[in-house]
């Protein structure tokens, strides 16, 4: 197992948060919708990291942090997939055929 001390873990977290903020801040608004599905992958990584923290937790505080990381990461991933599915549904064509009823004039 790879051991990560508290300060190194905090440093990695702060570095990742700053890098994410800079990268996402520079993405044009038109690209945010296609990137939604990619961000679901990031939430999956958060879940994996939370599981890692939870499995290596020694104190109740570490267990609580790991539990909430898994809980919030799972919620974000599920919500992201639901939002992405709804957005992609807006681009699908309808299978319902529209029939027009025309009135005929009586002579």
How would you label 75-99 residue by residue, b for 16+ Cβ within 10 Å and e otherwise? ebbeebeeebeeeeeeeeeeeeeee
Kindly list the domain boundaries of the chain, sorted by start residue. 33-90
pLDDT in tens, the chain (107 residues): 556 677 787 888 888 888 878 877 777 766 666 666 666 777 788 888 888 888 888 889 888 888 888 898 888 888 877 877 777 777 777 666 656 565 666 65
Dist. CA 84–CA 69, nearest whole Å: 22
How would you label 41-60 residue by residue, b for 16+ Cβ within 10 Å and e otherwise? eebeebbebbebbbeeeeee
């Amino acid at each position: 197992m790879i051991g990560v001390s508290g300060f190194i873990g905090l440093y990695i977290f702060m570095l990742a948060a700053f890098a994410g903020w800079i990268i996402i801040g520079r993405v044009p608004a038109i690209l945010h919708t296609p990137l939604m599905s990619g961000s679901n992958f990031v939430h999956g990584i958060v879940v994996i990291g939370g599981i890692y923290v939870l499995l290596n937790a020694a104190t109740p505080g570490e267990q609580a942090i790991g539990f909430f990381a898994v809980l919030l990461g799972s919620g974000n991933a599920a919500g992201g997939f639901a939002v992405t599915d709804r957005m992609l549904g807006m681009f699908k064509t309808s299978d319902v055929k529209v029939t027009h009823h025309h009135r005929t004039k009586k002579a």
